[in-house]
Amino acid sequence: MAFSIGGRDLESRFFLGTAGYPSPQVLREAVRASGTQVITVALRRQLSGGGEPGDFYRLIQETGAHLLPNTAGCTTAREAVTLARMAREMFNTNWIKLEVVGDEYTLQPDPWELVEAARELARDGFEVFPYCTDDLVTCNRLLDAGCRILMPWGAPIGSGQGLLNPSALRTLRARLPGVPLVVDAGIGSPRDAVQAMELGYDAVLVNSAVSQAHDPVAMARAFKLAVEAGRIAWEAGVMARQEMAVATTPVTGKPFLL
């Protein structure tokens, strides 16, 4: 299961968001149950939430996970770049999950502003994790801008709709074989995580599906197992689908291939 992303070696391929949990204690227990080594936080919402950022940072430090700050809520490249630089100073990390939203209804990324912000942040020494759609052209523009990782959505943020366009995600994986790809947004249940991993994706990032569950701690563990199962299935090689029935027990010949 071990893999490298953003210059760090990780065992877990399950990234976990930190918004919307019933309490800090539930969040702490969910992180532990998930086995995650990467957790995200929206800096803008943290600063406007009334709490002390230092309190949250201490909770993160206690988990031992790597922090991936994000620029959620930004609508322009300038906003996102400014917030990313604040996050680097506050959390002492060059990792940034870059979000630049272009539509308030779908929270779909603005590809032009996203690429502009990615280019500036990459020049500034950030390891940029851009939240993007499954559009191949936009993904290539982000790579040209200096990104080494891509985070295409499965569906709109927080919708729980799963992977709406598996064909596009499959194309991305096939056309960008050497690029770490993380499905981010829209995952609603562990089966969606299995599907993403079986497509050959390197990891998944989940927030609402865990934090909004009746039992977030149990759901975090369910996702942990789903991600592991999906990755093992990908490595083992999922059988090809057939148009017609194929007898599993031969009536002639040898029962085993020798």
pLDDT tens sequence across 5-50: 999 999 999 999 998 899 989 999 999 999 999 999 887 765 555 5
pLDDT for residue 90: 87
251 band by pLDDT with thresholds 50, 70 and 90: low
**Residue 207 labeled ligand binder:** yes
247 band by pLDDT with thresholds 50, 70 and 90: confident
**Residue 189 labeled ligand binder:** no
Mean pLDDT of 79-94: 93
pLDDT for residue 62: 84
| Predicted confidence (pLDDT) at residue 66 exceeds the cutoff of 70 | yes
**Residue 208 labeled ligand binder:** yes
Ramachandran region, residue 118 (left: φ > 0; alpha: ψ -120 to 50; beta: rest)? alpha
Mean pLDDT of 164-179: 96
pLDDT for residue 246: 81
**Residue 80 labeled ligand binder:** no
57 band by pLDDT with thresholds 50, 70 and 90: confident
| Predicted confidence (pLDDT) at residue 61 exceeds the cutoff of 70 | yes
pLDDT for residue 250: 67
- CATH fold label, 3-236: TIM Barrel (3.20.20)
Out of 13, 88, 97, 224, pick the active-site residue: 97
pLDDT tens sequence across 98-151: 999 998 888 899 999 999 999 999 999 999 999 999 999 999 999 999 999 999
> Domain segments of the chain: what residues?
3-236
Contact between residue 204 and residue 14 where contact means Cβ atoms under 8 Å apart? yes
Q: What is the DSSP string of the chain?
A: --EEETTEEES--EEEE-SS-S-HHHHHHHHHHHT-SEEEEEHHHHHHSSS-HHHHHHHHHHHTPEEEEE-TT--SHHHHHHHHHHHHHHH---EEEE--BS-TTT--B-HHHHHHHHHHHHHTT-EEEEEE-S-HHHHHHHHHTT-S-BEE-SSSTT-----S-HHHHHHHHHH-TTS-BEEES---SHHHHHHHHHTT-SEEEESHHHHTSSSHHHHHHHHHHHHHHHHHHHHH-PPPP-SS---SS-SSS-SS--
**Residue 23 labeled ligand binder:** no
pLDDT tens sequence across 177-220: 999 999 999 999 999 999 999 999 999 999 999 999 999 999 99
pLDDT for residue 238: 85
Annotated active-site residue 224? The verdict is no
pLDDT for residue 122: 97
